[in-house]
Structure 1
Amino acid sequence: RADRFEELFGDLKIGREPTSRRNSYFVLRLNFSEVDPNGDTNAITASLHRHINSCIYGFDLYYREHLPQSVKRDTVDSFVSLQNLLFVVSATPHKLYLFIDEYDNFANEVMASQIRGIDRYQELVGGEGVIKTFFKVVKASAEGRGLDRVFITGVSPVVMSDITSGYNVVKVVTHLDEYHDLCGFTHQEMDDILAATLRECSDEWRRMARREEILSMLRTFYNGYRFCGGEGRPLVYNPTLALYFFDHFIRYCRYPEEMLDENLAMDRNRIRFVAGLPHGEAVVNRALNTDKPPTIRALADDFGIDALLKSEQGPAFLISLLYYLGVLTRMGRDPFGKLQFTI
């Protein structure tokens, strides 16, 4: 997409001040939400290898005119396929940028499962488990083998904590102020989207009173996330739920029957999993008490499954986990300087 750089990034800072690495990377995308979390560890491992091999096949097709030869894939071990890909890339003037979306998705699904969930999870991330091994390969590949950058997204730091010895070179940007509204809509953006939506509706809906009514409804249901450390930053709207609302409203000019789409709601299995941990039920019940919101001194950021299962960790650990899962969000600080959370 080198020819579309100006179109895609021209009005952004990176477009106005491009770096020397502009348009210089091959890009490999992985999405671990496509890995099947069902079955024993052998089945899950096979699913992971199939996914990585499939992405490498797509990479090979997309860049075939820019590669000196096709990438040889090992149908059993995709980590070998990844090494082969890097061998081919290293024969070009370019390097590889690896994106891993939802890196902890299938591991979290396994962990929350009622069928040997914890045991299977530990087999995947512990010792020489396939997830830890994968990140060891990624780390080694960045040591002069052609992998130049890695960008990873996920839900919680639990899995990353458990594989830290395999991949201890990450820089966490989750709570940096400048990224606060990267993945959410601001109030101004919601107002602009609503204005465009109401142009398709009758004059009744365009009245200021009705418009304010809709904005109030949107604030109540969707405006509840603060990701940064700066307490003065405004909350941001959940974009998936907001777009669900606007998609319905622009079609019918009326509210959806269900403001919270069941298919998009937070994962009940994960909440149930947290409730089943030591102190979990008390923490979940406290989160529902709006008169006395949960408070902690600081967010935990180094979890690990073993730590979650220890009763001596106390409720603060689980409050942090519910925050990362999107069940709770930061609402400020109490008179004693503790972080306050709300649903």
Structure 2
Amino acid sequence: MKFPYGISDFDSLITRRLHYVDRTDHIPLLENAGDQLLFLRPRRFGKSLLLSMLENYYDINKAERFEELFGNLAIGQDPTPEHNRYFVLKWDFSVVSSEGDGEGIRRNLYRYLNARIKDFSDYYREILPDSPRIDPEDAIASFQSLLTAIRRAGHPLYLLIDEYDNFANEVMVRDRTEENRYQAILSGEGCMKALFKAVKAAASGQGLSRVFITGVSPVAMSDLTSSYNVAENIYLLPEFNTLCGFREPEIAQILAMIAEECKLTGSQMTDALSMVRTFYNGYRFSRRAEGLVYNPTLALYFLKAFHRDCRYPEEILDSNLAMDRNKMRYIAQLPKGRELIFDALAEEEPVQIRRIADRFGVEDMRYAPKDTDFVASLLYYFGILTFGGITPFGEIILTIPNLVIRKLYAETIREMVLPEGKDADEANRAAKSLYEHGDIRPLCDFVEQKYFKVFSNRDYAHSNELTIKTAFLTLLFND
């Protein structure tokens, strides 16, 4: 058994016979959901592999390989009439550099788009009657030229856009000066706004039939609303709760195969399932969904190491998740942010909000009044909180999904209040004194002399017994 950790190329995954958790049964649901769809999930949740699967399913050039790629999957037994009927164009905005001023970003974006259009033209040259004219100064003109060639060919276009909100995510974790660059590409006739305006027009009889967009949050889509207000949000619908991610029976099946190869006992397999459940399970993306979802990348990280070594990995938290701490730090700087993060970690009372915010732009994030609903919604989109239930009064309960994210909370809070490495070392020694000798005095002294010393007056205004408990929890947390 070979695991596709870090692999998002569906063709390669199937051809190399890597383990694939089948989600092709969702294809009919996606086709019925609408022609232009927006699907949001936290980073490293399998969105790119989902797009790659759709790319291979609809690509007209891969019709002869349909049985090879999909014959053993659910959709292979009952394919929809639309399979292998489309030209497929894919854009991944995560690879477009966001460095430089607004004009620099425009050039980076246009250079990337022109390269993708050129690759598209080369890939479909056998069935594309005319090559599009590539305008090095105006990629939107290149896109319109491509649409003309596509209409003449007589086959519809399916546009896949991955990480559409990459620029918004970049500005969220940087200085306020970054906002000017972001506004330069999204406001007025900024290049991103102009691009999505062209996409909207292309879907009105100019050859573009379907669009599927993925991202992390609705921030950029809100800023694009005046130019692109036709995408249907499917990320909160219960039928797509497990579109990305693993179900527990799927994890159990994999562990059973590993147990057989590693000659593990039934109790060892049960312990392993309990371990994976504790650290990686717990996501629910729709208030009406019943099942929980495992983060697929984190689960694959564990399963690959467990299969290779027949024992648990030494580090349970995949280091690739560490960059999410930047988003935690950003949220902690917002009004209500630090208070909400402390409250969520302590779990004295659940985080309760009226609704998940789904329309807010960068200006809202920078300047609009922030209440608990707004900050909690950001934590939800980043995968740091998830649906935990509904109160008797109809409010949404948000909870920390699993122990990996709880560790992220604890470490981020500790880093925020103990930025100096020597302080962290002293905290570890104080915690060790309690662990090994039952002596709590060094820890109490540390909290009094170091931990609360860095608090602002605003922090002190909200401090209470819960704050003290959270302080000790972050210092003593050890997975």
Q: Is TM-score (shorter-chain normalized) higher than 0.5?
A: yes
Query: Following superposition of structure 1 onto structure 2, how do residues 162-173 of structure 1 map, counting pairs within 5 Å?
Result: 162-173=223-234
| Deviation readout 1:165-208 (Å, 9 max, x if unpaired) | 0100111110111111110100000011111222331x3xx211
- Taking structure 1 as reference, are residues 129 and 279 closer, same or farther at Cα in structure 2, changes over 3 Å only? farther
Identity of aligned residues (%): 50
Query: Following superposition of structure 1 onto structure 2, how do residues 1-343 of structure 1 map, counting pairs within 5 Å?
Result: 1-9=62-70, 11-12=73-74, 16=78, 18-19=80-81, 21-114=82-175, 116-201=177-262, 203=263, 206-231=264-289, 233-265=290-322, 267-310=324-367, 312-343=369-400
**Unpaired segments of 5 or more residues in structure 2?**
1-61, 401-479
- Paired positions, count: 338
**Unpaired segments of 5 or more residues in structure 1?**
none
Determine the C-alpha separation between the residues in 2 that align with 1:29 and 1:85: 13
- Taking structure 1 as reference, are residues 115 and 297 closer, same or farther at Cα in structure 2, changes over 3 Å only? closer
Determine the C-alpha separation between the residues in 1 that align with 2:323 and 2:359: 23
Is contact 1:107–1:124 with CA below 8 Å preserved after alignment?
A: no
- The one-letter code matched in structure 2 to 1:272 is R
| Deviation readout 1:198-238 (Å, 9 max, x if unpaired) | 2331x3xx21111111111101111021112215x121000
- Normalised by the length of structure 2, the TM-score is 0.67
Is contact 1:111–1:121 with CA below 8 Å preserved after alignment?
A: no
Determine the C-alpha separation between the residues in 1 that align with 2:117 and 2:367: 40
How far did 1:140 drift?
1.1
Is contact 1:31–1:100 with CA below 8 Å preserved after alignment?
A: yes
How far did 1:309 drift?
3.0
How far did 1:297 drift?
1.4
Determine the C-alpha separation between the residues in 1 that align with 2:194 and 2:76: 34
- Normalised by the length of structure 1, the TM-score is 0.93
- 1:49 partner SS: helix
The structure number with the bigger radius of gyration is 2
Is contact 1:278–1:310 with CA below 8 Å preserved after alignment?
A: no
Task: Indicate the structure with greater helix content.
Answer: 2
- Taking structure 1 as reference, are residues 302 and 152 closer, same or farther at Cα in structure 2, changes over 3 Å only? same
- The one-letter code matched in structure 2 to 1:30 is W
- The one-letter code matched in structure 1 to 2:265 is R
How far did 1:311 drift?
5.2
Is contact 1:266–1:326 with CA below 8 Å preserved after alignment?
A: no
- 1:149 partner SS: strand
Is contact 1:37–1:107 with CA below 8 Å preserved after alignment?
A: no
- Taking structure 1 as reference, are residues 323 and 266 closer, same or farther at Cα in structure 2, changes over 3 Å only? farther
| Deviation readout 1:118-165 (Å, 9 max, x if unpaired) | 222222222222211110011111111111111000000111011100
- 1:165 partner SS: coil
- 1:185 partner SS: coil
| Deviation readout 1:263-289 (Å, 9 max, x if unpaired) | 134612222222222222222222222
Determine the C-alpha separation between the residues in 1 that align with 2:176 and 2:103: 15
Is contact 2:218–2:360 with CA below 8 Å preserved after alignment?
A: yes
Determine the C-alpha separation between the residues in 1 that align with 2:79 and 2:300: 32
Q: CA RMSD in A?
A: 1.8
Is contact 2:168–2:362 with CA below 8 Å preserved after alignment?
A: no
How far did 1:114 drift?
2.2
Is contact 1:38–1:110 with CA below 8 Å preserved after alignment?
A: no
- The one-letter code matched in structure 2 to 1:238 is N
Determine the C-alpha separation between the residues in 2 that align with 1:218 and 1:323: 21
Determine the C-alpha separation between the residues in 2 that align with 1:260 and 1:275: 22
Determine the C-alpha separation between the residues in 2 that align with 1:138 and 1:154: 17
Is contact 2:160–2:211 with CA below 8 Å preserved after alignment?
A: yes
Is contact 2:167–2:182 with CA below 8 Å preserved after alignment?
A: no
